[in-house]
Structure 1
């Protein structure tokens, strides 16, 4: 079809597409200048000054880090934003999903519910300190072997809880495991394989 001006539908759409590309091109080409969080390389961190910051010394995955943080900073935000350990995930930020689970002095906690400043001198372990791709913790290896994940967002929290469960009083049945893992939510519904992965480690321990 064409109108009285002789402009066909195909010509019109072609011109419209060209205009769209021309409009978007400057946006695509524009360089992005993002603030990149520092990577932990030693005992001290060189950070931008924070208003009303307080000095805190945290021991994370065996390394002592001297930090200056806002006293209101949660342990979760400190791990992710200040120390750049992003394996610990922010899910609900209300202690309801378990994605942010870490170990403090060997016990699992929701890191979104506690302040970083409260843990000076404590032994903090995140998923990065549990194992590496080259040397996985048995629980990490079991989750891989038994497909204990789908999208993977909750997986680090699931594994940290599962490792803590190994040292906690827990009955032998799948129902017992489900009860002790009930604080960790998997929106993908990978629960049967999560339980299978945990039980596999328990039976070989």
Structure 2
């Protein structure tokens, strides 16, 4: 049996013809390129998703507080921060209307506190708090108004005007209802009005006695004359 001829392999010094390279199939190259493109897309999508999750987790509280602060009235926020004794601000009620940006009508704010002490002592505490917050006395015609009971003063700071009014709280005395009946000597009973002892005589102070109310009204300076 005859052996097939052995062809020498091309080496560095080979001058003969070299075998043609085996050409790769075009569909295989396209499939691999498409696979690499899809893998890169998936990787970018994962990074973007992770970034969105981080932004949502970190940014949600920041956005919440930003919206809350934007919606909160800065004047009422300042009133909350006044350095007042506990007895001078036991409770309060707020009222406001108008636009903070003076669209059609500038905003008006009003707050009334309840104080457990008399008007003079309460007024001194509020005057000290106003000065500490940077407000200064503002004296113009009509402010403070004349003929007002209690302590009334006007203040200004930046573009705002503030009217402070401190007065005694209403003191209601409820008389004790007398018992009308026959007298021991048979004489007619005394007049019920005259026989009724007062609350002070019975040692029962009426509600509101010795307490006071403090009201602040805050205006934009440009709208003060219109509101007043």
* TM-score, with length taken from structure 1: 0.24
Which protein has the larger Cα radius of gyration, Structure 1 or Structure 2?
2
- Normalised by the length of structure 2, the TM-score is 0.22
